[in-house]
Amino acid sequence: MIAFEDFEKIDIRVGRIIKVEDYPEARKPSYKLEIDFGQKIGIKKSVGQFVANYTKEELRGKIVGCIVNLPVRQIGPAVSEVLTLGFPDEDGNAVLISPTKELPLGGKMF
């Protein structure tokens, strides 16, 4: 069990996926994403294993939740600056946490 203070250290923000590219260099099928978090945070890069459930076209413009205060991770030749959040489906493939309502970019989860 973690303390509530530990949970409060996690900075989860809402962003919009603005760019999606194939990432054939990854070990598992993945996309390279650019996500806009608004003026305060800006545009950040992420790598995600969303290929099984989403086309690039379906991801562009999608609102997503991301952890924005983790250390940068090198994933093959790409850098991932934020962790894009999702849950596994029945086959273990990632399904994004994606609000259905339009939200202000950069909003913090509470």
pTM for the model stands at 0.95
pLDDT digits (tens, 9 = 90+) for 54-76: 999 999 999 999 999 999 999 99
- In 3D space, the residue among 108, 102, 83, 86 whose CA is nearest the CA of residue 12 turns out to be 108
Domain 4-96 maps to which CATH number in 3.20.20.70, 3.10.129.10, 2.40.50.140, 3.40.50.150? Answer: 2.40.50.140
At 37, is the pLDDT very low, low, confident or very high (cuts 50, 70, 90)? very high
Burial class (CB in 10 A: 0-12, 13-18, 19+), 96: buried
pLDDT of residue 62: 97
pLDDT reported for residue 31? 98
Distance between CA 24 and CA 39 in Å, rounded? 31
Q: Where are the domains of the chain?
A: 4-96
Average pLDDT value for residue range 4-22: 97
User: How much is the pLDDT for 7?
Assistant: 93
